[in-house]
């Protein structure tokens, strides 16, 4: 439904101008001359605060000219409480988008803000027919048919400028800024952004989550954890299925596999004789030790070929479990190396096991979790799972205030999920580049 508001005259002294998109007002003298000649053609957009004041949504340049000329009452399109805060911001940003004299970095910032706001309202669109959500194509269409490539580049420039404004000081045009980004390696950019966030952020939640992302082997780090600490452990180990080979056949970008450490099948359960990988058997036993008397273990695994071996290893470590696994269904056909003779796989499975006699936070919940996966081009880790999926799983097995251990952090989405549920979590990861990507994501999420 299109919301148009109502039109009325408003006392100019009752209009409140809050933080605005525009940083440069442009040529107000020319605008003033034009308004004196033709009048005010378009009314300003205002939000009725219901206290006698109005919030300016769109028309700041016109408002400044009217105020300068002593206009006491101004025509405005007034929106009431039926419009949500997010919708108000979309109006504010999108109406400003079509005004003239916008600097390229204002265009970038505005594009990013509109894109984020719409994804907050509609969710992020996953690939596949019929999936709901908001995409870069949708943002382009909303902003007058701007191409996906233009929108994507504007978003990249805006995200980089958010964290490292100083590197763009000499960029006069969008082309200058794009050229600068192309010259800089993406990993270097993320590293610089992450360093800036850790050193300069005053957001306590961001700093807390950054501290919880520990760059260390879990086999080393878990030794320092005393017994009986965690209420939930969520393990997403390497699958030992030659993931790089599978991803190539599936057509997914190899960028995300650069720091992924796959384990040879001969050493998967028992560990490498002279390497850092100590094996699934050792990991399960250590996890059992650091868990409380009544606690849950979640472990993702490859059904083929590891179902029986993983089941036995969980039992051998002291846990109880069931062969009726939890299942994440993705909603569309997934990986298939032999599509002429095999059905495509569109699910992943996890064992859930228990120490002692814990209770579910959601008693009787079904074992199927249906969530669209993260689009391949948006992943920072090859096995990255959506935050909403992890929240639902954590919320099923653990209560607010629970302590969560994540031995293989990867993208770090588990930390975000636990934080949003009021749980405290820590985890281990070998690759610093994944932590850099995690911090950049936190920055774009404003630490929420």
d(CA 415, CA 379): 16
Quick one: pLDDT at residue 137? 86
What residues does each domain of the chain span? 6-190, 206-444
Looking at residue 44, its pLDDT comes to 83
Return the SS3 of 245: helix
Which residues have CB under 8 Å from 123's CB, separation 6+? 132, 133, 134
Which pLDDT belongs to residue 341? 86
Return the structure tokens found at 420. 């949003």
Residue 436's nearest CA partner among 214, 216, 253, 192 is 192
- Can you give the pLDDT at residue 246? 46
199-220 residues labelled b (16+ CB within 10 A) or e (exposed): eebeeebbeebbebbeeebbbe
Domains 6-190 and 206-444 share a fold: no
The CATH label, of 3.20.20.80, 3.50.30.30, 3.40.50.150, 1.10.10.60, for the domain at 206-444 is 3.40.50.150
The DSSP element (H or E) to which 46 belongs, if any, is strand 44-48
Task: Reduce the DSSP state of residue 270 to 3 states and report it.
Answer: coil
Per-residue pLDDT of the chain (448 residues; tens, 9 = 90+): 445 567 888 899 999 887 654 555 666 777 778 777 777 767 888 888 888 898 888 778 888 889 889 888 988 878 776 666 666 666 666 665 555 556 888 888 888 888 888 888 888 876 666 678 888 888 888 776 788 888 888 888 888 888 778 878 888 898 888 888 776 656 666 776 777 777 767 778 888 899 999 999 999 999 999 999 999 999 999 988 754 444 444 434 333 444 546 788 888 999 988 888 999 999 999 999 999 999 999 999 999 899 999 999 999 999 999 999 999 999 875 666 777 888 888 999 999 999 999 999 999 999 999 999 988 777 888 889 999 999 999 999 999 999 999 999 999 999 999 999 999 999 999 988 899 889 888 877 754 4
Angle at 389 between CA 384 and CA 394, to 5 degrees: 110
Numbers of helices and strands, H then E, in the chain: 16, 14
SS3 338: coil
Q: Is 181 helix (H, G, I), strand (E, B) or coil?
A: helix
pLDDT at 248: 42
Q: Are 132 and 125 in contact (CB under 8 A)?
A: yes
CA distance 176 to 169: 10
pTM: 0.61
List the 54-58 sheet strands across, edge first.
6-11, 73-79, 44-48, 54-58, 15-16
CA distances from 239 to 32, 348, 398, 408 (A): 66, 11, 25, 12
Domain covering 6-190 in this structure, CATH number: 3.90.1530.10
């Amino acid at each position: 439904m299109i919301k148009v508001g109502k039109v009325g005259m408003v006392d100019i002294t009752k209009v409140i101008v809050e933080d605005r998109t525009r940083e440069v007002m442009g040529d107000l003298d020319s605008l003033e001359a034009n308004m004196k000649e033709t009048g005010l053609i378009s009314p300003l957009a205002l939000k009725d605060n219901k206290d006698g004041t109005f919030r300016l949504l769109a028309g700041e340049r016109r408002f400044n000219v009217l105020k300068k000329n002593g206009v006491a009452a101004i025509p405005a399109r007034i929106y009431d409480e039926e419009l949500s805060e997010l919708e108000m911001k979309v109006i504010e940003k999108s109406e400003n988008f079509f005004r003239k004299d916008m600097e390229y970095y204002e265009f970038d910032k505005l594009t990013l803000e509109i894109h984020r706001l719409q994804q907050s309202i509609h969710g992020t669109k996953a690939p596949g027919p019929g999936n709901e959500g908001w995409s870069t194509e949708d943002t382009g269409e909303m902003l007058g048919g701007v191409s996906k490539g233009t929108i994507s580049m504007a978003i990249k420039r805006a995200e980089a400028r958010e964290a490292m404004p100083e590197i763009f000081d000499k960029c006069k045009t969008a082309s200058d800024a794009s050229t600068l980004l192309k010259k800089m390696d993406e990993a270097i950019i993320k590293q610089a952004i992450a360093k800036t966030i850790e050193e300069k952020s005053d957001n306590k939640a961001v700093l807390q989550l950054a501290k919880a992302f520990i760059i260390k082997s879990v086999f080393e780090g878990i030794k320092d954890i005393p017994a009986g600490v965690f209420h939930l452990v969520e393990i997403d180990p390497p699958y030992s299925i030659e993931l790089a080979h599978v991803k190539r056949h599936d057509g997914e970008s190899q960028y995300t596999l650069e720091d992924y450490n796959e384990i040879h099948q001969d050493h998967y359960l028992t560990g490498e004789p002279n390497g850092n990988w100590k094996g699934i058997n050792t990991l399960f036993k250590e996890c059992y030790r650091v868990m409380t008397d009544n606690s849950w273990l979640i472990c993702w695994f490859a059904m083929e070929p590891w179902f029986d071996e993983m089941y036995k290893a969980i039992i051998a470590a002291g846990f109880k479990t069931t062969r009726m696994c939890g299942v994440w269904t993705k909603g569309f056909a997934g990986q298939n190396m032999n599509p002429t003779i095999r059905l495509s796989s569109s699910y992943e499975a996890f064992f859930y096991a228990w120490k002692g006699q814990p209770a579910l936070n959601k008693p009787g919940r079904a074992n199927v979790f249906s969530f669209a996966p993260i689009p391949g081009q948006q992943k920072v880790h090859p096995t990255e799972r959506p935050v909403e999926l992890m929240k639902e799983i954590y919320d099923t097995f653990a209560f607010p205030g629970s302590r969560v251990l994540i031995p293989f952090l990867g993208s770090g989405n588990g930390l975000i999920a636990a934080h949003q549920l009021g749980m405290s979590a820590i985890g281990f990861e070998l690759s610093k580049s994944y932590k850099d990507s995690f911090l950049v994501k936190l920055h774009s999420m404003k630490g929420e």
